[in-house]
């Protein structure tokens, strides 16, 4: 499926993706397509969520990994496979290898979340922790492949990977034949490229929109330049699309077939994760929620029916806690205030009484009396409040000021 007789990569075509779909029968699930009333009202057209966060291993990555490893020769299988990943690709390679009876080594960064490390081991891979950043981990995996002859399974830069991921596109067309716009997150580009090949071959009228995090947006400058461009130190909470350079194989496909690439902010990503949890009852990682973030940022820009692809749900619980708090703050539902009051008996109780009048829920209180910045009779209070939105935040702050409190932040 992957190579021409000259040994170079040949283009990925619809027949490759259809072949991958047959190969994945009984392996990858056809994940659910759920309607979203809230997003539909916001966009002004039907919006559906393609739930790859409910795929085996928690993301779409199993599809491409299984197709890639299935295509190995008996000699290559005997040598085993090696991969580098902080999470989703690691778990996809681990499970695919176990299902195919192939030994797998997965290199993960030292700081990889413990649940992802544990899951990768449980799926059957030998995990080796190496490096503080993914580039160091990647180099270690490639060195291992060179030294041992194991086959390196790239997360996105291979035609078989792209063909496997493209099966998501065929499912979308089957589950929502009336679709007019598909929105998908882009990291290295394997998923978006596969979906683009599948969808444009069958329905060239469907608009395909890719989404990147602002702090890790390598595709806009690359598409402008006409070749893959690296960006320095990509930074985003969406580690699933935190890629500093587009893949060579998916780049040309995306340049030819993707209609538009948009970027979203960290606030929009966290708001999207919160919305998926509250409104759709779905746990989605930031990368998987990036299409929803794009809908939230500019809802009038999408022609419906729209399918937003939730590509993964593997998020560390501690990170999810921080993201949700960030999302609540971005939505005006979490307010942090610092103020000064007179240090006398009953002063704190009076302050909390003022907050109860405006129905602000106090999550945390920090009361400081000994600080050189404070006057002899002053105390400083830091409040963490749950509020009902931006207007309620303004009401809370105004009420405290009207009551004579000096609000610092």
DSSP state of 360: P
Give the C-alpha distances (Å, rounded to integers) separating 221 from 158, 251, 297, 301.
22, 12, 21, 22
Q: What is the pLDDT of residues 44-102, one digit of tens each?
A: 999 999 999 999 999 999 999 999 999 999 999 999 999 998 789 999 999 999 999 99
pLDDT at site 354: 81
Rounded-to-integer distance, Cα 138 and Cα 334, Å: 39
Q: Which two tokens stand for residue 29?
A: 């699930």
Give the C-alpha distances (Å, rounded to integers) separating 315 from 39, 116, 187, 361.
23, 8, 17, 27
- Greatest Cα pair distance in the chain: 85
Question: 10 Å Cβ neighbour count for 97?
Answer: 25
Q: What is the DSSP string of 102-149?
A: --EEEEE-TT--HHHHHHHHHTTPEEEE--SSHHHHHHHHHHHHHHH-
Q: Which two tokens stand for residue 162?
A: 């792209």
Helices 14-23 and 190-202, axial angle in degrees (round to 10): 110
Rounded-to-integer distance, Cα 167 and Cα 373, Å: 62
pLDDT at site 136: 85
Q: Would you say 32 and 293 are in contact if contact means Cβ atoms under 8 Å apart?
A: no
Lowest mean pLDDT segment, chosen from 13-22, 44-53, 234-243, 267-276: 234-243
* Range 329-353 average pLDDT: 78
pTM: 0.85
Rounded-to-integer distance, Cα 406 and Cα 341, Å: 7
Q: Which two tokens stand for residue 188?
A: 């290295």
The rounded percent of the chain whose pLDDT value lies above 70 is 95
Q: What is the pLDDT of residues 161-184, one digit of tens each?
A: 999 999 999 999 999 999 999 999
Chain CA centroid to CA 366, Å:
34
Q: Would you say 47 and 77 are in contact if contact means Cβ atoms under 8 Å apart?
A: no
pLDDT at site 372: 60
Rounded-to-integer distance, Cα 332 and Cα 396, Å: 12
Lowest mean pLDDT segment, chosen from 49-58, 152-161, 226-235, 395-404: 395-404
Q: Would you say 126 and 141 are in contact if contact means Cβ atoms under 8 Å apart?
A: no
Q: What are phi and psi of 310, to 5 degrees?
A: -90, 95
Question: 10 Å Cβ neighbour count for 37?
Answer: 11
State the pairing for strand pair 361-368/33-35: unpaired
Q: Where are the beta strands (DSSP E) in 322-369?
A: 334-342, 361-368
Mean pLDDT, the chain, whole residue set: 90
Rounded-to-integer distance, Cα 397 and Cα 409, Å: 9
Rounded-to-integer distance, Cα 222 and Cα 199, Å: 23
Q: What is the pLDDT of residues 244-266, one digit of tens each?
A: 899 999 999 999 999 999 999 99
Question: 10 Å Cβ neighbour count for 339?
Answer: 18
Rounded-to-integer distance, Cα 17 and Cα 195, Å: 9
Catalytic residues: 61, 311
Asked if residue 190 has pLDDT above 70, the reply is yes
Q: Would you say 329 and 365 are in contact if contact means Cβ atoms under 8 Å apart?
A: no
How wide is the angle at C-alpha 357 spanned by C-alphas 354 and 362, nearest 5°? 70
The rounded percent of the chain whose pLDDT value lies above 90 is 65
Strand order in the sheet with 406-407: 361-368, 378-386, 334-342, 406-407
Q: What is the pLDDT of residues 92-138, one digit of tens each?
A: 999 999 999 999 999 998 878 788 899 999 999 999 999 876 778 88
Residue closest to 310 by CA, chosen among 323, 294, 292: 292
DSSP state of 379: E
Residue 395's Cβ-side half-sphere holds a number of Cα atoms within 13 Å equal to 16
């Amino acid at each position: 499926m992957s190579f021409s007789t000259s040994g170079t990569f040949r283009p990925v075509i619809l027949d490759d993706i259809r072949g991958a779909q047959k190969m994945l029968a009984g392996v990858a699930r056809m994940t659910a397509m759920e309607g979203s009333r809230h997003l539909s009202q916001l966009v002004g057209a039907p919006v559906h969520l393609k739930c790859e966060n409910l795929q085996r291993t928690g993301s779409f990555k199993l599809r491409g990994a299984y197709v890639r490893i299935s295509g190995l020769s008996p000699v290559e299988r005997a040598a085993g496979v090696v991969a580098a990943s902080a999470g989703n690709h690691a778990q996809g390679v681990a499970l695919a290898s176990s299902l195919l009876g192939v030994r797998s080594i997965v290199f993960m960064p030292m700081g990889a979340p413990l649940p992802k490390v544990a899951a990768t081991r449980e799926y059957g891979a030998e995990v080796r922790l190496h490096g503080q950043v993914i580039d160091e981990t990647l180099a270690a995996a490639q060195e291992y492949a060179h030294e041992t002859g194991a086959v390196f399974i790239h997360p996105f830069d291979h035609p078989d990977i792209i063909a496997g991921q493209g099966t998501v596109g065929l499912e979308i067309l089957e589950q929502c034949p009336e679709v007019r716009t598909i929105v998908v997150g882009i990291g290295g580009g394997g998923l978006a490229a596969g979906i683009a090949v599948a969808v444009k071959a069958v329905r060239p009228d469907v608009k395909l929109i890719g989404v990147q995090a602002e702090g890790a947006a390598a595709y806009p400058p690359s598409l402008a330049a006409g070749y893959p461009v690296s960006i320095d130190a990509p930074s985003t909470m969406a580690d699933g699309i935190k890629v500093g350079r587009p893949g060579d194989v998916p780049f040309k496909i995306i340049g030819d077939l993707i209609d538009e690439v948009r970027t979203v902010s960290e606030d929009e990503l966290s708001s999207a994760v919160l919305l998926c949890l509250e409104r759709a009852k779905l746990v989605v990682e930031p990368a998987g929620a990036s299409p929803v973030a794009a809908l939230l940022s500019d809802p009038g820009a999408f022609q419906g029916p729209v399918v937003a692809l939730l590509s993964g749900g593997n998020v560390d619980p501690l990170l999810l806690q921080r993201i949700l708090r960030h999302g609540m703050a971005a939505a005006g539902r979490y307010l942090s205030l610092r103020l000064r009051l007179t240090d006398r008996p009953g002063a704190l109780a009076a302050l909390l009484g003022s907050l109860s009048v405006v129905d602000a829920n106090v999550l945390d209180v920090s009361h400081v009396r000994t600080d050189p910045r404070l006057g002899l009779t002053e105390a400083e209070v830091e409040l963490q409040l749950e509020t009902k939105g931006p207007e309620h935040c303004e009401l809370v702050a105004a009420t405290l000021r009207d009551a004579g409190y000096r609000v610092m932040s």
